[in-house]
Amino acid sequence: MSREKAKSDVINRLKTIKGHIAGIEKMIEEDKSCDDILLQIAAIKASIHKVGLVIMEEHAKDCLINVDEGEMIEKEKVEKVLNTLVKFIK
């Protein structure tokens, strides 16, 4: 996925998430069932996770793949990507 495509994808997903959040607010105001509200929350959690994965993938590509051919990747860059990945997973 190109950087611009990834950026567009993330922005679209975030707009969808905003819509889901607004929907949850309305559901609560209208005293909808807990089951329905929790289902929407689960959808938001999955969407947020996907956004994080796309951003993490682009971050890793920027740090680890976009180096000149034959150039060694700095240990610090690898450690930074791994630390970010671990924080995201937790």
CATH number at residue 47: 1.20.58.1000
- C-alpha distances in Å from residue 17, one per residue of 62, 68, 69, 77, 81: 26, 37, 39, 31, 26
Predicted confidence at residue 69, as pLDDT, reads 67
Tokens 């690898």, located at residue:
78
- Give yes or no for residue 72 having a pLDDT over 80: no
Question: Residues 58, 61, 64, 66: is their CA dihedral positive or negative?
Answer: negative
Q: Is-above-0.95 flag for pTM?
A: no
Domain that holds residue 29: 3-89
Q: Residues for the chain: how many in total? A: 90
Q: How many domains does the chain have?
A: 1
- Give yes or no for residue 49 having a pLDDT over 70: yes
